[in-house]
Amino acid sequence: MPHFDLPLDQLREYRPEVAQPDDFDEFWAGTLDEARRHDLAPAFEPVDLPLTGVRVHDVTFSGFGGHRIKGWLTLPANATGPLPAVVEFVGYGGGRNLPHTHLLWATAGFAHLVMDTRGQGSGWGTGDTEDPVGSAPASPGSMTRGILDPHDYYYRRVFTDAVRAVETARSHPLVDPSRVAAIGSSQGGGITLAVGGLVPDLVAIAPDVPFLCHFRRSATLTGREPYAEIARYLKAHRRHEEQVFRTLSYFDGVNFASRGRAPALFSTALEDMVCPPSTVFSAYNAYAGDDKQIEVFSFNGHEGGGPFLQDTLLHWLPQRLRGRAASTA
Amino acid sequence: MPHFDLPLDQLREYRPEVAQPDDFDEFWAGTLDEARRHDLAPAFEPVDLPLTGVRVHDVTFSGFGGHRIKGWLTLPANATGPLPAVVEFVGYGGGRNLPHTHLLWATAGFAHLVMDTRGQGSGWGTGDTEDPVGSAPASPGSMTRGILDPHDYYYRRVFTDAVRAVETARSHPLVDPSRVAAIGSSQGGGITLAVGGLVPDLVAIAPDVPFLCHFRRSATLTGREPYAEIARYLKAHRRHEEQVFRTLSYFDGVNFASRGRAPALFSTALEDMVCPPSTVFSAYNAYAGDDKQIEVFSFNGHEGGGPFLQDTLLHWLPQRLRGRAASTA
Amino acid sequence: MPHFDLPLDQLREYRPEVAQPDDFDEFWAGTLDEARRHDLAPAFEPVDLPLTGVRVHDVTFSGFGGHRIKGWLTLPANATGPLPAVVEFVGYGGGRNLPHTHLLWATAGFAHLVMDTRGQGSGWGTGDTEDPVGSAPASPGSMTRGILDPHDYYYRRVFTDAVRAVETARSHPLVDPSRVAAIGSSQGGGITLAVGGLVPDLVAIAPDVPFLCHFRRSATLTGREPYAEIARYLKAHRRHEEQVFRTLSYFDGVNFASRGRAPALFSTALEDMVCPPSTVFSAYNAYAGDDKQIEVFSFNGHEGGGPFLQDTLLHWLPQRLRGRAASTA
Amino acid sequence: MPHFDLPLDQLREYRPEVAQPDDFDEFWAGTLDEARRHDLAPAFEPVDLPLTGVRVHDVTFSGFGGHRIKGWLTLPANATGPLPAVVEFVGYGGGRNLPHTHLLWATAGFAHLVMDTRGQGSGWGTGDTEDPVGSAPASPGSMTRGILDPHDYYYRRVFTDAVRAVETARSHPLVDPSRVAAIGSSQGGGITLAVGGLVPDLVAIAPDVPFLCHFRRSATLTGREPYAEIARYLKAHRRHEEQVFRTLSYFDGVNFASRGRAPALFSTALEDMVCPPSTVFSAYNAYAGDDKQIEVFSFNGHEGGGPFLQDTLLHWLPQRLRGRAASTA
Amino acid sequence: MPHFDLPLDQLREYRPEVAQPDDFDEFWAGTLDEARRHDLAPAFEPVDLPLTGVRVHDVTFSGFGGHRIKGWLTLPANATGPLPAVVEFVGYGGGRNLPHTHLLWATAGFAHLVMDTRGQGSGWGTGDTEDPVGSAPASPGSMTRGILDPHDYYYRRVFTDAVRAVETARSHPLVDPSRVAAIGSSQGGGITLAVGGLVPDLVAIAPDVPFLCHFRRSATLTGREPYAEIARYLKAHRRHEEQVFRTLSYFDGVNFASRGRAPALFSTALEDMVCPPSTVFSAYNAYAGDDKQIEVFSFNGHEGGGPFLQDTLLHWLPQRLRGRAASTA
Amino acid sequence: MPHFDLPLDQLREYRPEVAQPDDFDEFWAGTLDEARRHDLAPAFEPVDLPLTGVRVHDVTFSGFGGHRIKGWLTLPANATGPLPAVVEFVGYGGGRNLPHTHLLWATAGFAHLVMDTRGQGSGWGTGDTEDPVGSAPASPGSMTRGILDPHDYYYRRVFTDAVRAVETARSHPLVDPSRVAAIGSSQGGGITLAVGGLVPDLVAIAPDVPFLCHFRRSATLTGREPYAEIARYLKAHRRHEEQVFRTLSYFDGVNFASRGRAPALFSTALEDMVCPPSTVFSAYNAYAGDDKQIEVFSFNGHEGGGPFLQDTLLHWLPQRLRGRAASTA
């Protein structure tokens, strides 16, 4: 895939106007309030695995609507805490997968909680979390479920689940609640941005090739899945364009970015037609935190930096923890 | 597309064993009983259209779970009844569309009711009917929603809606309830087969290139949508193969075909990789009615006979009505 | 498909220079004169169909060179006239199809004549009209047949047929000749533009995603059929570029648009790579009539507005007829 | 491309029944008689080229209907004759191309005449010969032009042109008429087979990956062009299957093969989806001559043996000429 | 992708004859002897990584020709040995990748050595090992480098490297040399089979969707990379078919399988067009060990069982170690 | 393929800055010096072919590192010399092919030497020349072999071979060394540019759709092979971008063009996505010779002008020879 988006020097200055509804903050405050009326009820069930280096727990907690959301919590085998924690969100179509697939952060000395994405998890990885909410007519996939009203929109539920996942991680006795970071790739990066805008006291966020940014542009710039679900919906529902983009404005990563303050490590790839670099830079350039940087991979597509980015993150994240004594110390 | 399935002479003799659960009839009797506990409550709202040759009504009725299902009823402008009726079900991904797109049967002197398919209608045609039921993790699309349990499976709701759609047509004062036929192409053909097996007194059915037949074969014979959704689900959920096919056995068109008695006009196309001819012949050869025929289109894909089949149907269906005096006469 | 052409605000102002031969008007005046030397000899043969709401006639008339051209005339079953009429031209590769596929306009109270396109009609719909004229070496398809000389070019014959089709409609006793509109999609839209420029007294035209506009741009902007036939021809015939585009300048929709005066409803779609929006706007912005509008579908490809556009047209066209008393009244 | 057709050992025994009309020989005798009523009128115009090793003539002769057909005659520069001659027919979509592209056979000491294919020559090579005959509705391309009647069918004209091309070669003063061979690849191979069946006294034929064999099988075995044109035509014209295959039976290479007697070198490739090996073996196994062989290329597609086959042919053909004294000697 | 190979019941019985050269064992004995004349010279350089749960060493050893081959050795952080070990070989095009990408087996209590594949490692993962040997003309990729002579063939070097990698693992002071297993997916599975046939005393092998089996069949059954490299080579080198397959017979996984005795866990996937199931079953059914099993994934392609197979392997492998006391104990 | 690069008027002015290392000339002077330390040792072995118009010799000479390189020398059968000569280089993936495939230039009265490309020749034509040099990890294909260091880079060897090929042609007794031209298409055009920059006294060069120009742009403008090999390499080796482009700067056709002085006929095609027109114009506009021209094919892809360009060249090249008496005269 050749370079198809703006040249890098223009990307670095790209600050488009992205629609933001007046009641954006009220909408989200109300949404989280409503979710918190349900007891979080975090459960951590030990999983019996033939692994000696880590301990894994099957996690369940109450997300949006009190619906029970799954995850895995992985700890270094001999940890006594308090541990810094990484909460991770996964890419579109995947789920929490099998527990032995998440070893990196526990091996690096962190508590690691990966959240299942409701209703997904039948693509590249399996999931175990139901989305009990139905939908008006929608395109195949999650992107347009409930898209005619922000209150019904699928990602309202997911972003709320994600905030609650951070709270779940913080509730674990071995986790130091003052040293929690959020990370994720693609959809996981989009959720990370949302969490970064909704949870004020994270120690760091790392949105990798984030999805769900600048919908107006992404829906017309790329024909690749899953942004294509929006265009496919509007191809049929020809008279709903404004209504759809109004809904999406409540979920745009650019609007969450302008509210984020935690140290942030973004990444993007110049051949990424799934989450085009200009949509990532839209969020990065809007990001409100001072300590921010973006890794640019010139010849990669949506796979982005892959293990090279992990390597960078393995060094970057501990630096953000230094000087932050464990809260219980 | 070349011919890829069995040769025609073998297709004509193809009678595979298709799994049938012992409680198939109980399952469906119970399902319909449950649905009928909700008041059908058919509503026929006149639609103001710049059409002088037909009158169209916006239809709403209670389907599975009492959920309100939409449709269009189209009548010859000057009809005084009682009219024979055609109830039509639509293809995968589509909806009832705009009302002026359904003129054929009213122009031919029939009452015509097209049923919206719940949750669909964002593909080639628009729909207006919500599916208020959520789902465990599923592949994008409708095919695997609730697939781990026949009670939760998406098509349990759709087939029930379809039976109720026939009842809705029969409830209209201008319709002769003893002269109702069911037709449809692709998914609409699969639904037609189900209705033919569940509603005992139809005057005719016409499943055109029907979908939803012989799932075991179709899931491994073709990589085309929407059967591919099953394979895609099992690609992730590697340990659920038996559970999935057990569920599907309650919805297999072959099992409905062996219960159908109404005169039937099937069709299939030898280059159809979406609904392969052997899966259609599986149902056709199992069909229990005496008055049955199948139109075979040698060089067509899933578009099948198109207007040529309509032409055949326009002549075949009236022949099935002859000798059947209008019931109210 | 993402947006690939100019942004909408630039499209609205896009007025490229399109080559126009000095003898354009003479060429067409001479061509039509020549055709009219043959007796039009319109024949309307009733067709026996199992349809009660309409009456259909198998139409034959003399087009270019006196060659006999086919069509269907569909009338409301009980019409006594004089009726307003819609003459429709069809898309590339198709034909007049079977008669029951054209019910919309008769159901709306119009006489409807659909013209078969000579030599085509073996693609998505069948045709019945021979093109008795051979050709110098040409690419597969109709686009380059006779392309080295405007007198030999395929569309010289087709556009002439189309003018004669309007005259045929007007010749029918139930048609009011003062209230005839021309419509069509894609190739049918291109023919509509030509007819709009060649027939002075139409009541309205509606070119939908019209083809055959601004050949210089379309041949280099899109690789999709059927414009690609031109590029494919020139790929082989490397020394004939100027000769080819000279021929095409006699057939460019932009040049017909600048001669059209009837009220006009254009449409285009921003993802249409078959008939790119800038080529449609080239014609629209050049259109000489005062009463013109263009429907823009943001997330559609060449399918354009489909039933939504039909719905608009069903309301727009009758408004153009008001105040126009039937000529025979 | 993997092997997709019968295994090689079955191919060697593959002798399918191919339909042959009773009046096959009468049809062709009548056709050739009719063509010969027109004066052949061969013209050989010297071409001025910057080539010192060969002399090229621009050839024109009367083919079917007396239509003037083009070709190039290439001779060794210093030839005094009588020379053995190779008449070559070209692949689908191509033409006689530019004259310097045909040097092999003159460099090998032969007179070489390449025939232009009427109406083609806008694909991979240019042509200069008009096909002045029009057509009923046909698919894009040559394959279905006039396909509803053997008398109207395109290849009736082409095969007749080809027989006349051999006569043209023989008419040249430097050519030894008793030592003329016919060769060609793909469509050129199909024409070679026809010529081999229609011209009794050729010294050799070499059909390379021949097209136009066993239409019933090829039309359903492969979806590749140009056989696909037949299927595409029948996809629209659903009721003409028998009529189409009846026409094609007059043009089937298998029926010409069973009439050929000249020494023959066939070739085929096991990955050839354009002209599948079973269709080639259908002709090869039916070939009536005693001196026949077939080169099989196991890992090639339609490119077949390419230069390797040429190399074989450069040795094989001279062996067939030995013992044949020049007729004028 | 639909099922395209033999049905499962036939696969279970599929025992094709695969060519085996008479001097197969001598060839390999000589090859390994030659390699062992070079000092293995294993080097284990500690790598500084921000990982607390494991210790990683940068490994270098002498493979074929004494060339220095790279790898990573990953140990549980606090291991004191002797540890059972897993030696892993990687898929085509990849390399040893970054060290933090190999955490599973060390986390499960094993020593884990992953071998870099010479000359590869520029595809999905990076490599660091040169292949200093040049090649006669070859297709892009590794598959046909040196393919005209078994002594020059690329995989002679790679399989030798792999045997030496096992010896390297055994040389480490924390590894128990009597408890070493070999595993790998795709190309890694093919190398595993070779190692299983060449190293007599492994504790287990696990070839996952193994590549490099039954070349005669795979080269004609699938058009997918990398088997396609063979066909592509022969497409050009039309006269070298026998020579190529003679070379490949020295490297066929089926021939190594018939020499393997260690407990073995194979896997295959029925939609795998890269390493078709019949080629895997060719090796599995020929496998000489008593303790063998094969995991069959019905709806997967070349991704095979993925984490589900890892899960099975995490339980299966420790069972093979039981009763095997650590050799140093 | 539509036009995708700059419009033609901008192409004509396109003069980008292309990186040029300070020691470019030293690098190449040293490289050629080193190669010339090996005896050229040209060998011309007559080949026995059934061709009477030409004499062909199997050529071998010492290229880079003294490695023996193959070629064919083709002469008019009765030539007595001294002849002007054309040295030709071939496209990517091909080889010198079989000798009878190179007849054009000998037929035009030239000596013609075609050079085999080391290690290639397993694609569209066969080759016979080994590349005995191995490589660090590289993408499949030749483009990234040794790419981390200009001394190791594959094209250092090939360009050196090419200079030696010119010297080989000049060494033949029938060749006039003062009248030697270099030509080639695609990769052959890139090599031609290099030779034009490295050999001072050529009589003409003709780089046709040349490859290997302006790597920075080509690697990001097109996703087509073989430029894509660079991007694919960097997709894995994410940290080597600068090192890779530094190496390539020693091999960029633009840098050779600015050193070329011989009369030059370039060509390019506006739909060429393999060697995009802007990369060709980068070299053309930088070309230092006064007598230069470029043929632009508006509707062609990478096939470029094909026989039309050959025709132009057959006239252009002799004009450059006029006034140049044979050096031995």
What is the tens place of the pLDDT at every residue in C66-81? 999 999 999 999 999 7
The pLDDT tens digits for D140-163 are 999 999 999 999 999 999 999 999
CA distance C134 to D131: 6
Q: Bridge-partner residues for E181, per DSSP?
A: E86, E204
Q: Bridge-partner residues for F204, per DSSP?
A: F181
Nearest Cα to A148, choosing from A243, A216, A20, A242?
A243
Identify the H or E element spanning E328.
none
Nearest to A310 among E100, E106, E314 (CB): E100
Q: Is C242 on the interface with F (CB under 8 A)?
A: no
What pairing do the DSSP bridges indicate for beta strands E54-62 and E68-76? Answer: antiparallel
C91: how many CB neighbours lie within 10 A of its CB? 24
C232-251 core/surface letters (b: 16 or more CB in 10 A; e: else)? bbbbbbbebbeebbbbbbbb
Considering D5, D131, D161, D272, which one is annotated as catalytic?
D272
- Residue type, position D157, single letter: R
Mean per-residue pLDDT for B255-259? 98
* φ, ψ for residue D110, nearest 5 deg: -105, 155
Identify the H or E element spanning C177.
strand C175-185
The residue of chain E with its CA nearest to that of A55 is E107
Question: Cβ(D178)–Cβ(D201) under 8 Å?
Answer: yes
| Maximum distance among all Cα pairs of chain F, rounded to whole angstroms | 59
CA distance F302 to F93: 15
Confidence of residue B329 (pLDDT cuts 50, 70, 90): very low
pLDDT at F60: 98
Q: Could F52 and D109 be called an inter-chain contact, meaning their C-beta atoms sit closer than 8 Å?
A: yes
Q: Is C14 annotated as a binding residue?
A: no
Between E324 and F140, name the one with better pLDDT: F140
CA distance F211 to F192: 10
Within 8 A by CB and 6+ apart from A290, the residues are none
Instruction: Round the average pLDDT of chain B to a whole number and report it.
Output: 96
Residue B170, pLDDT > 80, answer yes
Nearest Cα to A218, choosing from C299, C10, C8?
C299
- Residue type, position B264, single letter: A
The pLDDT tens digits for E56-82 are 999 999 999 999 999 999 999 999 979
Mean per-residue pLDDT for F34-58? 98
CA distance F220 to A329: 52
Residue D325, pLDDT > 60, answer no
Question: Cβ(B247)–Cβ(B275) under 8 Å?
Answer: no
Shortest Cα distance, chain D CAs vs residue C293, angstroms: 35
CA distance D194 to D205: 10
CA distance F19 to C136: 50
Confidence of residue F323 (pLDDT cuts 50, 70, 90): low
The pLDDT tens digits for E171-225 are 999 999 999 999 999 999 999 999 999 999 999 999 999 999 999 999 999 999 9
Residue E85, pLDDT > 60, answer yes
Q: Is E308 on the interface with B (CB under 8 A)?
A: yes
pLDDT at A326: 52
pLDDT at C24: 98
The residue of chain A with its CA nearest to that of B127 is A137
- Domains, chain A: 8-322 (3.40.50.1820)
Instruction: Round the average pLDDT of chain A to a whole number and report it.
Output: 96
- Residue type, position F13, single letter: E
Considering A208, A252, A272, A282, which one is annotated as catalytic?
A272
Residue B187, pLDDT > 60, answer yes
The pLDDT tens digits for E159-170 are 999 999 999 999
Question: Cβ(F121)–Cβ(F70) under 8 Å?
Answer: no
Identify the H or E element spanning A271.
none
**Annotated catalytic residue B3:** no
C140: how many CB neighbours lie within 10 A of its CB? 24
CA distance C77 to B231: 50
pLDDT at D86: 98
Considering B186, B249, B267, B282, which one is annotated as catalytic?
B186
Mean per-residue pLDDT for F307-326? 89
Tokens of C177: 């000749």
CA distance E145 to E137: 7
Mean per-residue pLDDT for B198-218? 98
What pairing do the DSSP bridges indicate for beta strands D292-297 and D264-269? Answer: parallel
pLDDT along chain C (329 residues), means of 10: 93 97 98 98 98 98 98 96 96 98 98 98 93 96 97 98 98 98 98 98 98 97 96 97 98 98 98 98 98 98 98 97 60
* Residues of chain E by 3-state class (helix, strand, coil), percent to 5: 35, 20, 45
CA distance F76 to F55: 6
Question: Cβ(D99)–Cβ(D72) under 8 Å?
Answer: yes
Residue B42, pLDDT > 80, answer yes
Q: What is the DSSP letter of E108?
A: T
CA distance C309 to C306: 5
The pLDDT tens digits for D215-264 are 999 999 999 999 999 999 999 999 999 999 999 999 999 999 999 999 99
Kindly state the percentage of chain E with pLDDT values over 70. Answer: 98
Confidence of residue E323 (pLDDT cuts 50, 70, 90): low
Q: Is A150 on the interface with F (CB under 8 A)?
A: no
Q: Is D53 on the interface with F (CB under 8 A)?
A: yes
DSSP structure string for F187-234: HHHHHHHHHHHH-TT-SEEEEES--S--HHHHHHH---TTTHHHHHHH
The residue of chain D with its CA nearest to that of F78 is D53
Residue D323, pLDDT > 90, answer no
Q: Which residues of F touch A303 (CB under 8 A)?
A: 235
Q: Is E243 on the interface with D (CB under 8 A)?
A: no
Q: What is the DSSP letter of E136?
A: S
Q: Could D52 and F108 be called an inter-chain contact, meaning their C-beta atoms sit closer than 8 Å?
A: yes
Considering A186, A218, A249, A282, which one is annotated as catalytic?
A186
pLDDT at D329: 37
Between D124 and B16, name the one with better pLDDT: B16
CA distance B238 to E270: 12
Confidence of residue F106 (pLDDT cuts 50, 70, 90): very high
CA distance F142 to F233: 11
The pLDDT tens digits for F230-280 are 999 999 999 999 999 999 999 999 999 999 999 999 999 999 999 999 999
The residue of chain F with its CA nearest to that of D76 is F53
- Residue type, position A146, single letter: G
Q: Is D222 on the interface with B (CB under 8 A)?
A: yes
Nearest Cα to E136, choosing from E126, E145, E128?
E145
Mean per-residue pLDDT for D50-62? 98
Q: Which residues of F touch E233 (CB under 8 A)?
A: 122
CA distance D204 to D323: 14
Query: Neighbouring chains of D at 3+ CB pairs within 8 Å?
Result: B, C, E, F
Q: Could B231 and E308 be called an inter-chain contact, meaning their C-beta atoms sit closer than 8 Å?
A: no
Q: Which residues of A touch B120 (CB under 8 A)?
A: 137
**Annotated catalytic residue D171:** no
**Substitution target from B122, B145, B237 for chain A, most A beta carbons within 10 A:** B122
Specify the residue for token string 């030999």. Answer: C152
Q: Is E271 on the interface with B (CB under 8 A)?
A: yes
Q: Is E133 on the interface with F (CB under 8 A)?
A: yes
Query: Neighbouring chains of C at 3+ CB pairs within 8 Å?
Result: A, B, D, F
Q: Which residues of A touch B141 (CB under 8 A)?
A: 140-141
Query: Could you tell me how far CA E310 lies from the centroid of its own chain?
Result: 16
Q: What is the DSSP letter of D117?
A: P
Confidence of residue D327 (pLDDT cuts 50, 70, 90): very low
Considering B176, B272, B278, B282, which one is annotated as catalytic?
B272
Q: Which residues of D are annotated as a binding site for substrate?
A: 92
Residue A329, pLDDT > 50, answer no
pLDDT at F321: 86
